[in-house]
Amino acid sequence: MNLTLKIWRQPDTETAGAMHTYQVSDVSPDMSFLEMLDVLNEQLNDKGEEPIAFDSDCREGICGACGLMINGDAHGPEVTTTCQLHMRSFSDGETITIEPWRSDAFPVLKDLVVDRSAFDRIIQQGGFISVNTGSAPEAHSVPVPRDDAMRAFNVATCIGCGACVAACPNGSASLFMGAKITHLGELPQGQPERDSRVVNMVAQHDHEGFGGCTNIGACTAACPKEIPLDVISQLNKDLRTALKHGH
């Protein structure tokens, strides 16, 4: 496959960026998208040019680092992470536009790399439980209904990649936040901090500059872990309850 790549290049946060065009050839359909970018970077290195900076780590679809906007879609045309997207999803001779996540809360650090530490600060405000350390408790000492456990497990698959923010016209992180709040709220261990958790996380979300949710649904459509939209309803329900309790 021979491809034309239009890629956002930006040297740092303070400097304006621009799209640059590159040609890459002999791309195997079985390559992952990031392997294709590796091939391009090898070509740039051979020419003495600056390679394109992009985030990746596990390359197994579980860490959430590899966030890219590909032809205007978060992670590209398939519902998966960028590292698990393969070049067979594209056509020979195609032009592919590659950009970083676009959100005020995710400033560009360099090229395709953005600072997603806003997510970390939201988690620090409540994405945890307080437990006594020491010997592990008996597994059956705190019974959890099966449906609640499965719900918690399913939404806990959120990897914090930020695709929901990038896909949302408002730049909202409500799906990410709703997944974390629902995950902990479904379990007995998450109840003591349930009210303070949602109030503090929502406050941090707004402080970071994320937009509000208007239930468009683009977030869940782009989510590689298929987090359901109703976690946002749970988020709003928990917030209303917490405010009624005086938090």
Q: pLDDT for 125-150, tens place per residue? A: 999 888 777 777 776 778 889 999 99
What local confidence, expressed as pLDDT, does residue 11 receive? 96
Give mean pLDDT, residues 49-60. Answer: 95
Give the integer Cα–Cα distance in Å for 178 and 51.
Answer: 37
- Tens digits of residue pLDDT in 31-53: 999 999 999 999 999 999 999 99
Is residue 88 within 8 Å of 79, Cβ to Cβ?
no
What local confidence, expressed as pLDDT, does residue 139 receive? 66
Q: Locate tokens 């949302």: which residue?
A: 168
Tokens of 199: 């109030």
Is residue 96 within 8 Å of 23, Cβ to Cβ?
no
- Tens digits of residue pLDDT in 88-116: 999 999 999 999 999 999 999 999 999 99
Give the integer Cα–Cα distance in Å for 125 and 106.
Answer: 18
Tokens of 115: 């600072």
What local confidence, expressed as pLDDT, does residue 246 receive? 84
What local confidence, expressed as pLDDT, does residue 9 receive? 98
Residues shown for the chain: 247
Give mean pLDDT, residues 6-18. Answer: 96
Chain-wide mean pLDDT for the chain?
95
CATH 3.40.50.10490 fits 116-130+141-244, yes or no: no
Whether the pLDDT of residue 184 is over 80: the answer is yes
What CATH homologous superfamily does 3-110 map to? Answer: Beta-grasp domain (3.10.20.30)
What local confidence, expressed as pLDDT, does residue 148 receive? 94
Is residue 67 within 8 Å of 55, Cβ to Cβ?
yes
Q: Residue ranges per domain, the chain?
A: 3-110, 116-130+141-244
What local confidence, expressed as pLDDT, does residue 131 receive? 77
Q: What is the pTM of this model?
A: 0.92
Whether the pLDDT of residue 197 is over 90: the answer is yes
What local confidence, expressed as pLDDT, does residue 38 receive? 97
Q: Provide the pLDDT confidence category of residue 22 given band limits of 50, 70 and 90.
A: very high
Question: What number of other Cβ atoms are within 10 A of residue 221's Cβ?
Answer: 15
